[in-house]
Structure 1
C-alpha cells in the first residue's frame, strides 16, 4: 500500500516562523525530502539522517522544468514505499512549481497528498516594507516569466498585464539576466528613472537588506535566490504610458468642473475631427515619419476615447464594449489561428475572412451599421470613393490602360470640374453623391445581380 505525501512550507528563512503544524509534521516524519538546502534557516535539518535533498537535480539537469519533473518523480517514488514529507521554503503554493508537479504526478499513481501551509516570502517582504498589500493593490509577478516573454521578441505586446497605477512585487529575481528581463518588460509601463527597491533575505535574521535603485540600473545590482524587487505605483498624472490614464483624463475633462470645450462635444461635433485625425495619420504613413505617426495615432486614439466617454455618459456603451467587440471579431475572423480552419497562404486567409464576413451579414453575428449597397464601403465614405468602387464593380475593364498624358488630362478635367463647382458655391462631394444617387437603383441592382449597367 502506498504511503502518503505531506507537502509543507518551511517559512521564508527564520526557523522561529515555522508553523506548529509544520514542526509537528517534521518531528513525526520517517523520511523528509527537501527541495533544496540552499536556503537560510535549515540548520536544524542539515545533519538529520531522515533528510535528503534535491540539490543534485539542480546541478545535473539543464532546465528548471526538468528539475521539477525529476523532483516530483523522486518524491512520488519514495511515497509509494513509505510516508514522505516534502518540505519547501516559504509557502508551498507561492512560486513552487515543484509542488504543482508533485500533486499532478501523485494523482496519476493514486498517492494521497496533504498540504501544510507556511509563511511565504511575500509575507516577510510586506512586513519589512511596512505595507498593506490589499489596501495598496499589490501585483505579484514572477521574474522568470519576464524571461519567457522576452523570447517572443517584437510580438510580446499584451503578454504582461501590468497596471502601473498599482505597485508590483516581483519574486524569483535571482540573477542579473532575470533582472534585465524584468527591467525590459517593465520599461514598457514605467519611466526609466522610476525608483525601485531590491529586497534580499527579507526574513533571515541579520541578513535583511533593502537597496534603492532606478529601473534603468536594476540589472547592474547583485542578486541571489533570496532577491525580490519592489516597484512603487505611479500617480495618475505620471502614469503616461497607460490607456487607463487617457480614459481617466478624458473623463475628468468631461466631468463637471472639467474643460468647458470638452464638455460641449458630441458624437456629431467630433465627426470632422475624427476624419481630420485619420488623414493626418495617413500623411505620417505616406511620409514614412515614425515619430509623427506615433503622435498622430495618439490623436486618433484620443478621438476613440472621447467617443467612448460620450457614449458612456449616454448609457449607450463603454470602452470595454469596444474592446470586446473588436477582440471577438479578430478571433472569429481568424479561425485558421484560433480554430480548426486551414489557411496557409494570404489568398486562403482572404477567402476565410470573406466567408466569415458572409456569415456575419447573414445574421450569425451582430454587425450593425457597416457597409452599404453591397460595395464594401461605409455609408459615410466620400462620394468619389463610392463612385470609384461602384464603377470598378460594374464597368467592363478597358484593355488599354491610361497613359501618363491621358491620366494627367483626365486629372485636370476632374480638377477643373471641382474648381467650377466651388467657384459657384457648390459642394463637390455632395453634388457627386447626388449624381451617384441619380443612377441609384440601376447601379445598385447591377452590383447585386452581376448585370453590367447600360
Structure 2
C-alpha cells in the first residue's frame, strides 16, 4: 500500500470491509485504503483483514472495548478517536460489513463529525445481508425480508410489559436478525420471537456468512436458539409461519378474518353485516364485564378475544365497502391518544389524575374548535350514547338529575325506578350492579322467593 499525504484539518472517509472475504472489498474501498494517511479499524477481530492489521498506518479501537462501561460508551469513545485523528489529517475509518448496516459507531461518528465541522464521506460496500442471501437462499426483495437487530430486541425485552408494541413483525414474511453475538442476546431473541412463533419454529442460524472455510449454516428449533453456539458473526433467519396459524398479534387475526369473509370462506361469516353484528358486539362486551366481575382471568382472556373478533369483523366489512380498514381504526385511536396526552408525548405538565383529565378535556375542546365545530351545547344526557343502559346513565348523571317528586311522579313506575337508582348512587352503589344482585337473589336456584309478574309480562321472558 502507498501511504497518503498528511493534510492538516483532514476529512473522514468511512469504508466497509465486507462480511469477511477480502475478495469482496469493492474497488472504491480498496482505493481509499491504499491512499489513506491514517486508517482506524473499529476492531481487528474480523476475518479477512490480516493485511490491514499488519499495516503501520492502522490504529484499532479494540482497547476501547476493554475500557468502556457499555457499548454506547465504547462507540462514543471510538467516534471521538476518529474525529481527533481527523483534525491532524485525512482518516479512513474502516468497519466490518457495510458502514450503514448495523454500525452504530458510524452513525455516532457522522453525527459528531458534522457537529464538529469535519467533512465525512461514506463509501459503498458488500454487506452482511448480501452474504446471508447466498448462504440461506431466496430473494430478500421478492420475499419481503424484514431486518431486526438482536441488540435492540434484547433491550426491548428488558423493558418488560412496557416494551409492548415496539417490535413489529409480520409473521407471514421472513425476518433476518443480525448481531446475535452472545448467548444472552440469543436468549433475548428467542423470548421475543416466541411471542410471534411456535416454540418449535425452525430457524436458520448462520455464522461467518461469505467467509471461505468458516461459513456455518444450521437449522435449529426456536426453543434451542440460546443453546446454539453464536459469535460476533452470527445472524438468524426466521422463515414465515404457515397460514392458517394461531398467533398473538394483529396481522394474524386480521388475515384470518379476511379469509373467513373472502370467497370460499365461511358462509356464516360472509353473511354478516354491520347491523347483524350489532347485538354480538353488545353481548361480547357484556361477557367481558362478567369475566372482570368474576375475576376469571382465563375467561377474561377468551372474552376479550371474542370482542376483538367482532371489532375486526366490523372493520373488514367496512374495508370491503371501501370505507375504512383496521389500519384506519388503529391510526385514529393512536393519533387521538398522542394528541390528548401532551403531558406524556408533549411539553404540558399533569402531575395528578385530575389534572390529566382536565388536559384531556381541554385538548378535546381545542380539537372541536380547530375542526370548525361549535362548542358542544347538548344536554349531559344527549352527550351519552343512546344505546347506553338507562341505569348506567343515571350513575353518570346523578348530579344533574332533579329527583322526581309530587303525587304524579309517585304514580309513574319510571320515576319510582329513577328514585331508587338515585338512592343507590347517593349510597355509593352502582345501580346496575345493585339491581343485578337483587335479581340474582330472587331468580335462580338460590332464590329466596319468586317474583310474581302479570301473566302477559311473564310470557315474554326467556326461560
TM-score, L = length of structure 1: 0.85
- How far off its partner does 1:373 sit? 4.0
Match of 1:337 in 2: 344
Counterpart-to-counterpart distance in 1, 2:200 and 2:81: 46
1:374 pairs with 2:373: no
1:302 pairs with 2:309: yes
1:423 pairs with 2:457: yes
Instruction: Map residues 219-368 of structure 1 onto 2, 5 A cutoff.
Output: 219-238=226-245, 240-360=247-367, 362-364=368-370
1:85 pairs with 2:119: no
- How far off its partner does 1:65 sit? 0.9
Counterpart-to-counterpart distance in 2, 1:58 and 1:170: 23
1:71 pairs with 2:45: no
Select which of 22, 45, 50 maps to 2:29. Answer: 22
Match of 1:13 in 2: 20
- Identify the range of structure 1 (35-44 vs 351-360) with the bigger mean alpha-carbon deviation: 351-360
1:403–1:320 Cα change, 3 Å: closer
* Contact 2:398 2:425 (8 Å CA) reproduced: no
Counterpart-to-counterpart distance in 2, 1:319 and 1:308: 5
* Contact 1:421 1:427 (8 Å CA) reproduced: no
- Identify the range of structure 1 (110-119 vs 269-278) with the bigger mean alpha-carbon deviation: 110-119
- How far off its partner does 1:3 sit? 1.1
- How far off its partner does 1:293 sit? 1.0
- How far off its partner does 1:353 sit? 2.4
* Contact 2:315 2:325 (8 Å CA) reproduced: yes
1:411–1:426 Cα change, 3 Å: same
- Identify the range of structure 1 (257-266 vs 28-37) with the bigger mean alpha-carbon deviation: 257-266
Counterpart-to-counterpart distance in 1, 2:91 and 2:79: 12
Counterpart-to-counterpart distance in 2, 1:401 and 1:244: 47
**Alignment RMSD:** 3.0
* Structure 2, gaps ≥5 residues long: 1-7, 404-421, 444-449
Select which of 24, 39, 50 maps to 1:32. Answer: 39
Counterpart-to-counterpart distance in 2, 1:239 and 1:399: 45
The number of residues matched between the two structures is 422
1:235–1:31 Cα change, 3 Å: same
Counterpart-to-counterpart distance in 2, 1:348 and 1:39: 56
* Contact 1:69 1:101 (8 Å CA) reproduced: yes
* Contact 1:32 1:50 (8 Å CA) reproduced: yes
TM-score, L = length of structure 2: 0.84
SS of the aligned residue for 2:310 comes to: helix
* Structure 1, gaps ≥5 residues long: 429-454
1:158-180: CA deviation from partner (whole Å, max 9, x where unpaired):
01011111111111111011111
* Contact 1:10 1:88 (8 Å CA) reproduced: yes
- How far off its partner does 1:352 sit? 2.1
1:402–1:145 Cα change, 3 Å: closer
Select which of 41, 54, 66 maps to 2:48. Answer: 41
SS of the aligned residue for 1:86 comes to: strand
- How far off its partner does 1:114 sit? 2.1
- How far off its partner does 1:357 sit? 3.5
1:113–1:400 Cα change, 3 Å: closer
